[in-house]
Amino acid sequence: MLQLAANKNASLLGTGFYTVPEAARLLKISPLNIRRWLGGYTYKHGEKVVKMPPLWSPQLPGHDHHLELGFRDLIELLVMKSFIDRGLSIAVVRNCLDVARECANDPRPFSTRRFQTDGRTIFLESLRGLDDAEVLDLKKQQYVIKRLIDRTFKDLDLSDDIVTSWRPYGGKPSIVVDPERAFGQPIAASYGVPTVVLAQAVEAEGSVEKVSQLYDVPGGVVRDAVKFEHSLAA
């Protein structure tokens, strides 16, 4: 058992690890939607049962029917959410994913530099197979799509054409999600302390200043951690 646990921890290094509830909390997405998108689902259309496959296979193998996500899965969902929040249908996003995979030659294309630079074009190339209303709506929103991509990638850091970290607190550098550190949990960027630890410590101690001294983290960073955790709870 110890060897299995050690092997699992080794496999998570540089990949990140998130349960569905953890990913849902960070992204403010319904856990049910994440399970449907990455686990597949069925629905009835008249008398016919339609089976929808997963949008992609998560980076980590699940167990006991539970999905486990890696960092790039998290970023793919983050980019998806930005479009769905603007009213694009999941059918449009699915088509875009298919085209983007071919263009980027990557199973998770939304977390690549190719999508950052060519995302609007990729969306317009994905019009094939959509109904007329969706095509018209997508053409109307092409400039909105470009702005959404620019805004989303502003909070992301890339290396070798792949997203390597995310600054989830409005792009502020004080807090980072980095799969190479703390298994991808949000941390105080320059100090490595998880934001949840800092926030819980402030609640227990009743003082930002005390926590700042205990963890040797500047008060401003501690305050950012508290505000960030509160924003997730909200």
11 is a domain residue: yes
Asked if residue 180 is part of any domain, the answer here is no
Shared domain for 134 and 190, answered yes or no, is no
Judge whether 177 lies within some domain: no
Tell me which DSSP letter residue 169 carries.
Answer: T
| pLDDT of the residue at 13 | 67
Across 33-51, average pLDDT: 90
* Structural domain includes residue 128: yes
Chain centroid to Cα 198, Å, comes to 22
Indicate whether 12 belongs to any domain: yes
Query: CA-based diameter of the chain, in Å?
Result: 65
Whether residues 15 and 97 share a domain: the answer is: yes
Q: Are residues 121 and 230 in the same domain?
A: no
d(CA 208, CA 95): 48
**In this predicted structure, what is the pLDDT of residue 45?**
82
Residues 6+ apart with CB under 8 A from 42: 49, 50, 51, 52
141 and 231 share one domain: no
Residue 42: C-alpha distances to residues 89, 95, 110, 214, 222 (Å): 17, 18, 25, 51, 45
Same domain, yes or no: 217 and 137? no
pLDDT for res 87: 83
How much is the pTM? 0.88
> How many domains, in total, are found in the chain?
2
**What is the domain range of residue 203?**
186-234
Q: Which two tokens stand for residue 145?
A: 């799509």
pLDDT at 11 over 70: no
136 falls within a domain: yes
Q: Is residue 45 part of a domain?
A: yes
Instruction: Note the pLDDT of residue 136.
Output: 57
